Chain A
């Protein structure tokens, strides 16, 4: 038998023969390759073709130029931004309020915490269908309740002016629990000494909130903003369950524009749209995350 030890080991050989790290890496690597890398590369390829699922014809960048000419793309982009900013803003404000409230000494605090968190656990599509029924313009619970007070409620989901806002509000209802939990953790991490010191200085609770809680909970705020903005920008399931982008195209966001193209059988075009969506979310989130992280370090 040849003496292996005699030959000097190159770094590659060392990497191959040291059993521990490499062989442990491979199963996960295979899964990563098969379920993530391969589809991503394949979608790059298919985005350059006219694809019927049965066969694909290479057409260069035509899908991308067609996608950017899509009449509803900019409406979708605008709606995505409105939706992302609105839900993320409301989640910050409400999450902070609930967070402060649920960290103070109140009756049934633990019970209330679980109540606030509960909607996060429910299936999004289920929430969507439930609220679609509640928001029905004539037979819905919301408008029927308003009617008792003599108010004629709007057509929440079918009036183009309200539809996107209504869906955003439901998104906030469903997502504010997560923001609250992040804030509870953030607020609990603030050392009690600051509050004690400020009390000795005669600060009231509003001043305490403004000068201690708000600045020191900033890491929590950044986390909530990043998470809910990413979620809002690529939001699809709730919008699809509630309005399907309708009435007409008025609540279409980027993801639903892409889904409608897919549904119409424009598989190459919708794949190109997905590639654009990945790039777009990255372009918005990476600098934002870097900026917010820098601020966090400075604190």
Chain B
């Protein structure tokens, strides 16, 4: 009897231990992952050349959003990179865009399951990823010499180190328009909001859709507000600083509130496509390319999507900056390219750096241009645009060449971007909420984000 009991206890303890052991790795994953590169990478790297057999093929994972233009260019770039580096394979993984994607990226970083290399926004969204803890420092990489200095601040963490490399062309935020409709109705490109609204009215009178909105993809609803930042800073030059320091608010700064009001005016004017609430980004591209609608407020990277899906109509699409109140002060809000980063816990830092250096080289740009055509100026010195750029890109370039005709979007000047903006702009753009109300709610949202980031003064 006693013996049996003893045996039973021993077995029970063994069972318990095995249970705990099963739980063990989860608890200790993080330190192992972060220690890995320092502790085990060096020997692995020196082992490889010593072996007589051909070096083992290293597989890198590359995490990008599922926007078709980005997928197409990533596939092209990976093919070119693998051809030049036979020892390295790159597997592309995709995630949805917008808030869902932000969530996935943050969760994978926090749980130590991030891919070796990942592509993500620069600017305020980059700051929210806690770069010092999660990414490899790329400040001293050779390729940084080729990157324009204007880009580096948007991938620099508070510790002053650079963590990313640009992976696409700079973008403008504004309005893609259908040139055929403009020619047919004898319209000219608007330099002011009044001219823009007059054009909208004429297009509506002609029985056509004046403004395309695609709230099925909520992120597309933010352009009236975000792309209006050039006009905000014309009126209030120090808005970004004051906004970051909790001294300027959207609801109480008339020029900033104006951005929300413009979106409200568009809805009230009845200029929208009938299915604006459920249409998606790809629907929007189709509509502006085929002339089912005249104006589509968008970032210029979308030109790549039109080049892919509607190459025959690429010449029908033009671009202008979001017009402000004063036609004499017409300028463009500029988006810095998204960047690629290396996860700090990667087991192949050398290979990952080679891949990132490739993406930030002239070959990387060329592979992107080959997939999508040119979508805007690159921020890499060695990259050149093809000779024949689409009209919308040709419309974009003069803003970059004129003095003072561009301003970075607010998300590149301030670390704070309220996460609910896209839902608020959907409500304003659908007439569910007034502009003033939405601006006030956005200020609340911004406050939460600033507190989460632990900024001084909030």
Q: Give me the interface of A with B, judged by CB distance under 8 Å.
A: 17, 19, 23, 26-27, 30-31, 34, 50, 52-54, 57, 66, 71, 136-138, 155, 157-160, 244-250, 260, 262-266, 269
Contacts and interface: CB of A to CB of B under 8 A. Distances in A.
A285 B102 CA distance: 35
B426 interface: yes
Given A26-B12, A54-B133, A263-B100, A248 B423 contact: yes
Q: Sorted from nearest, which 7 A-B pairs have the closest CB atoms?
A: A158-B277, A248-B427, A264-B419, A53-B110, A263-B103, A23-B12, A248-B426
Given A137-B277, A260-B420, A248 B432 contact: yes
23 contacts: A19-B9, A30-B16, A53-B107, A53-B109, A53-B110, A155-B277, A155-B278, A160-B432, A245-B423, A246-B215, A246-B426, A247-B215, A247-B427, A248-B424, A249-B427, A250-B427, A260-B99, A262-B103, A263-B99, A264-B99, A265-B103, A265-B452, A269-B448
Given A158-B215, A264-B449, A246 B423 contact: yes
A79 to B, nearest CB: 14
B454 A247 contact: no
Contacts of A269: 448
A31 B424 CA distance: 43
Contacts of A246: 215, 218, 423, 426
A248 B433 contact: yes
Given A52-B452, A57-B454, 4 more contacts: A23-B9, A155-B277, A248-B430, A248-B432
Interface on chain B toward A: helix, strand, loop, or mixed SS?
Answer: helix
B275 interface: yes
B19 interface: yes
B452 A266 contact: yes
Contact of A19 (B5, B15, B423, B430): B5
B420 A264 contact: yes
B299 to A, nearest CB: 21
Nearest to A269: B448
A227 to B, nearest CB: 30
B130 A52 contact: yes
Interface in B258-286: 274-275, 277-278
B451 interface: yes
Contacts, number: 100
B402 interface: no
Contacts of A247: 215, 277, 426-427, 430, 432
A265 B427 CA distance: 22
A57 B12 CA distance: 40
Interface on chain A toward B: helix, strand, loop, or mixed SS?
Answer: loop
Nearest to A140: B278
A19 B8 contact: yes
Contacts of A71: 441, 444
B106 interface: yes
A19 B13 CA distance: 12
B222 interface: no
A54 B20 CA distance: 24
> B277, B419, B426: which has the most chain A beta carbons within 10 Å?
B277
Contacts of B300: none
A10 to B, nearest CB: 18
Contacts of A57: 454
B451 A50 contact: yes
B455 to A, nearest CB: 12
Nearest to B274: A138
B330 interface: no
Contacts of A137: 274-275, 277-278
Nearest to B132: A54
Contacts of B448: 66, 264, 266, 269
B435 to A, nearest CB: 13
B39 interface: no
B57 interface: no
B133 A265 contact: no
Nearest to B425: A248
A136 B278 contact: yes
A53 B106 contact: yes
B451 A26 contact: no
Nearest to B133: A54
Interface string B161-172: 000000000000
Interface string B437-458: 0000100100011011010000
A262 B102 CA distance: 11
Contacts of A160: 430, 432
A95 B381 CA distance: 69
Contacts of B23: 34
> B106, B110, B278, B430: which has the most chain A beta carbons within 10 Å?
B278
Nearest to B426: A248
Contacts of B8: 19, 23
Interface in B7-35: 8-9, 12, 15-16, 19-20, 23
> A54, A137, A248: which has the most chain B beta carbons within 10 Å?
A248
Contacts of B19: 27, 30-31
Nearest to A30: B19
Nearest to B8: A19
Nearest to B99: A263
Interface string B98-116: 0110110011011000000
Given A157-B278, A246-B215, A264-B420, A54 B427 contact: no
A140 B110 CA distance: 40
Contacts of B430: 158, 160, 247-248
A50 B15 CA distance: 38
A57 B130 CA distance: 15
Nearest to B27: A34
Contacts of A263: 99-100, 102-103, 419
A61 to B, nearest CB: 14
B12 A265 contact: no
Nearest to A20: B8
Nearest to A18: B5
B318 to A, nearest CB: 27
Contacts of B218: 244, 246
> A23, A57, A265: which has the most chain B beta carbons within 10 Å?
A265
A146 B15 CA distance: 63
B77 interface: no
B121 interface: no
B9 to A, nearest CB: 7
Interface in B74-101: 99-100
A138 B103 CA distance: 31
A248 B452 CA distance: 23
A264 B418 CA distance: 8
B16 A26 contact: yes
B287 interface: no
A250 B12 contact: no
A54 B134 contact: yes
Contact of B278 (A26, A50, A158, A265): A158
